[in-house]
Structure 1
Amino acid sequence: MGRPRRPLLDLERITTTALAVVDELGDLSVPQIAKRLGVQTASVYHHVNGRDGIIELMRERVASGIDTEALVRGPWESGMAAWARSYRAAFAAHPRAIPLLMASPVRAPMILGQYERAVALLLDAGFALPDVMPVIIGLENLVLGSALDLAAPEAMWEVADAAATPRLAAALGAAPEGRADHAFELALAAYLAHVRGLAAEGRNVPATPDPGSPGAP
């Protein structure tokens, strides 16, 4: 009998299967993935570093859909906004993976490179170094919360008796379609307006002298 044309297992198949399991069940285990692939659990461990390694593969797969080109050109505000919209769309495709990814450290070089671009964009815009990660993490909180919201029903409030909650009923009736999209854009605009002030403050902070420079203490 000849050898198979391709290995029974590879990282691509493991990642695809893992995402399918998480999309369906909201969690995963290595035995579950092995069962779906029709192999022994030990065979999966031969390719990945256990459950944590599979989670990181899923993170890479989902994050590969994020467009980071805007982070290396143009003003910081438009760059961060474009990154946020692309980030949200990529994770909204797999909302049940978000809790797993949020509970595991980021290690993949490709993803760390995306953060490197975001940090460079903010530093070049004048943000003080201590403000950079809070700004990025705050944006991520907004993005991932909205990605989860996209998976929720359009009608999240069921008002059976409008007389009991008349203002809520009126507000729901006046709300435009695309609840999650409108809420995200509103929150993103508010975020950008707030952190704009941090950029201005950062530009007014005196630079720390280089220890090797003549003016350094």
Structure 2
Amino acid sequence: MGRPHKPLLDRVRITTTALELVDEQGDFSVPQIARRLGVQTASVYHHVDGRDGIVELLRERICAAIDGGTLDGKPWDAAVAAWARSYRAAFAAHPKAIPLLTTSPVRAPRVLEQYEKAVALLIDAGFALPDVMPAIIALENLVLGSALDMAAPEAMWELADDTATPRLARALAAFPEGGRTDTAFELALAGYLTHVRGMPDGV
């Protein structure tokens, strides 16, 4: 019998299956991956460095959709804004992965390369070294929070009786339909950039 044209198991298939499980249920287990691929659990471990290794493969897969080239742009604040929008879009496609990835250290080399570029961008722009990581972490908090918000219903407030909360009812009625998350994200991003521009040694 000839050998199969494609391997029955590889890191790409493992990552794809793990991401499918995370998109469905917010987590995965190695036995679940094995069952879905029709292989033994031990076979999966031959290709990956345990569960932590799969988490990093997931991180690489999702972050591959972030346009790291935006960090090569000028001026720095326009580059950061473009990176933030691309970052948000990548994680908005897989919101259930956010809790999983934010509770484990970043080890994936390709992802660390993007952080390296972000750090270099801010240092080259004149930011003091102690301010660099707080600025990046704050941006991530904004981006990931908004990515989660994109998975929420468009109508987040259901008022049974407008007279009980009349001001809220008027504010909701005045808010344009559609684009709730985009409007809020752009407002928060603008506020973030205004603050960061004023940090010591920032320009």
Q: Which amino acid aligns with 2:64?
A: S
Q: Which amino acid aligns with 1:44?
A: V
- Inter-partner Cα distance in structure 1 for 2:80 and 2:74: 10
Deviation at 1:117, TM superposition (A): 0.5
Q: Structure 1, residues 53-100: CA drift from partner, whole Å, max 9, x if none?
A: 111000000000001112112111000000000000000000000000
Q: Report what 2:182 is aligned to.
A: 181
| TM-score, normalisation: structure 1 | 0.91
Q: Is the Cα–Cα contact under 8 Å of residues 48 and 54 in structure 2 kept in the other structure?
A: yes
Q: Which amino acid aligns with 1:186?
A: L
Q: Report what 1:55 is aligned to.
A: 55
Structure 1, unmatched stretches of 5+, are 205-217
Q: Report what 2:134 is aligned to.
A: 134
Please give the residue correspondences for 1:85-164 in structure 2 after superposition, counting only pairs within 5 Å. Answer: 85-164=85-164
Q: Report what 1:8 is aligned to.
A: 8
- Inter-partner Cα distance in structure 1 for 2:37 and 2:175: 46
Paired residue secondary structure (2:5): coil
Q: Report what 1:195 is aligned to.
A: 196
Structure 2, unmatched stretches of 5+, are none
Q: Report what 1:82 is aligned to.
A: 82
Q: Which amino acid aligns with 1:123?
A: I
| TM-score, normalisation: structure 2 | 0.98
Q: Which amino acid aligns with 1:189?
A: A
> Which has the greater radius of gyration?
1
Aligned residues: 202
- Inter-partner Cα distance in structure 1 for 2:94 and 2:128: 34
- Inter-partner Cα distance in structure 1 for 2:109 and 2:96: 23
Q: Which amino acid aligns with 1:202?
A: D
Deviation at 1:202, TM superposition (A): 1.5
Runs of 4+ in 1 over 4 A off after TM superposition: none
Paired residue secondary structure (1:81): helix
Please give the residue correspondences for 1:8-27 in structure 2 after superposition, counting only pairs within 5 Å. Answer: 8-27=8-27
- Inter-partner Cα distance in structure 2 for 1:8 and 1:86: 34
Q: Report what 1:71 is aligned to.
A: 71
CA root-mean-square deviation: 1.0
Q: Is the Cα–Cα contact under 8 Å of residues 196 and 202 in structure 2 kept in the other structure?
A: no
Question: What percent identity do the matched residue pairs reach?
Answer: 74
